[in-house]
Chains A and B, each alone.
Chain A
Amino acid sequence: MHPYLIYRTILLIISVFGVVNLSRQIQRQRDRYQNLPPGIQTYLKEKGSTIFSKHISQQRSAIALNVFLLILLIGLNVLSWA
Chain B
Amino acid sequence: MFATLRQTLRDRTAKLTQRFRSNADPTRSEAPASLAPEPSPPAQSVALTRPKPWQALRSRWQTWRNAEAEGSDTTLEDPLDQIDQQLEQGKTAKIKRIFHDYIRKAKPEDVERINENIGSMQRGPVKEIWSKVEVLVQLVRDPQAAWKSKALAIASLIYLISPIDAIPDVIPIGGLVDDVALIVVVVSTLAGEVETYLVRQAEQKAEIEIRKYNNIVRIALTGSIFAALITIAVNYSLKHL
Check A51–B206 contact: CB distance below 8 A. Answer: yes
Whether A20 sits at the interface, judged by CB under 8 Å, is no
Report A47-82 CB contacts with B as 1/0, cut-off 8 Å. Answer: 110011011101100110110011011001101100
B232 touches A80 (CB 8 A): yes
25 residue pairs A–B, Cβ–Cβ below 8 Å: A2-B231, A3-B231, A4-B227, A4-B231, A7-B227, A11-B220, A11-B224, A47-B202, A51-B199, A51-B202, A51-B203, A55-B210, A56-B210, A58-B207, A59-B214, A62-B214, A65-B218, A66-B217, A66-B218, A69-B221, A73-B221, A73-B225, A76-B225, A77-B228, A80-B235
> Quick one: which of B160-189 are within 8 Å of A by CB?
none
Decide if B228 touches A59 in the complex (CB within 8 Å). Answer: no
Give Cα distance in the complex from A66 to B203, angstroms.
22
Known: A7-B224, A55-B206, A80-B232; 13 extra A-B contacts, CB below 8 A, are A4-B231, A11-B220, A48-B202, A51-B203, A52-B206, A59-B211, A66-B218, A69-B218, A72-B225, A73-B224, A73-B228, A76-B225, A79-B232
How far does the alpha carbon of A38 sit from the alpha carbon of B220 in the complex, in Å? 40
Which residues of chain B have C-beta atoms less than 8 A from A70's C-beta?
221
Residues of A within 8 A of B230 (CB): 4
Q: How far is the CB of B220 from chain A (nearest CB, A)?
A: 7
Collect the chain A residues with CB atoms within 8 Å of residue B227's CB: 4, 7-8
Q: List, in ascending order, chain A residues with CB within 8 A of B224's CB.
A: 7-8, 11, 73
Residue among B202, B206, B225, B228 facing the most chain A CB atoms (10 A cut-off): B228
Q: How many A-B residue pairs have CB under 8 A?
A: 60
- Is A76 in contact with B211, judged by CB distance below 8 angstroms? no
Q: How large is the interface on B (under 10, 10 to 19, 20 to 34, 35 or more residues)?
A: 20 to 34
Residue of B nearest to A44 (CB): B202
Q: In the complex, A8 Cα to B5 Cα: how many Å?
A: 128
Chain B residues lying within 8 Å of A79, measured Cβ to Cβ, are: 232
User: Please, how many angstroms separate the alpha-carbon atoms of A48 and B198 in the complex?
Assistant: 12
Closest chain B residue to A61, Cβ basis:
B214
Selected contact of B207 from candidates A4, A55, A73, A80, CB within 8 Å:
A55
B15 smallest CB distance to A (angstroms): 77
